[in-house]
Amino acid sequence: MATFWVAGPMPLPETVALVEDIVVEYVTDLVHKAQDFASKRGKLLTEDFLFLVRKDPLKFNRCTELLSMNEELKQARKAFEVDEGRLAATD
């Protein structure tokens, strides 16, 4: 389980285990529902997850924010690889 920060004493192991169980159950349920939508097309897409969280503005906005950051990171890595290739070619 990923660590999380708390502004106080460390949480009890039972609390950590309970939160982990809740999160795993939620994500598993979300993936199963997304697979149900995707089974009609035969392919699971990010839009399937966005469709499921569309009525919860906080989750929807966070998902779209993370997806846009992911695209920005992909473009930055691609630009870095191109620049690195040019440097290697000039040496």
Neighbours of 34 (CB within 10 A): 20
For residues 20 and 45, state if they share a domain: yes
Are residues 66 and 36 part of one domain?
no
For the chain, how far is it from start to end, CA to CA, in angstroms?
45
Number of structural domains found in the chain: 2
**Based on the domain organization, do 48 and 66 belong to the same domain?**
no
Instruction: Say whether both 17 and 47 belong to one domain.
Output: yes
Does residue 2 belong to any structural domain of this protein?
no
Q: What is the pLDDT of residue 8?
A: 73
- Cα separation, 45 vs 7, whole angstroms: 37
Residue type (1 letter), 89: A
- Do 90 and 59 lie in a common domain? yes
Query: What is the length of the chain?
Result: 91
Per-residue pLDDT of the chain (91 residues; tens, 9 = 90+): 455 565 678 889 999 999 999 999 999 999 999 999 899 888 999 999 999 999 999 999 999 999 999 999 999 998 887 666 666 666 5
Classify residue 7: in a domain, yes or no. Answer: no
Range of the domain at 86: 55-91
Per DSSP, the residues of 32-56 read HHHHHHHTTTTS--HHHHHHHTTT-
Whether residue 88 is contained in a domain is answered as yes
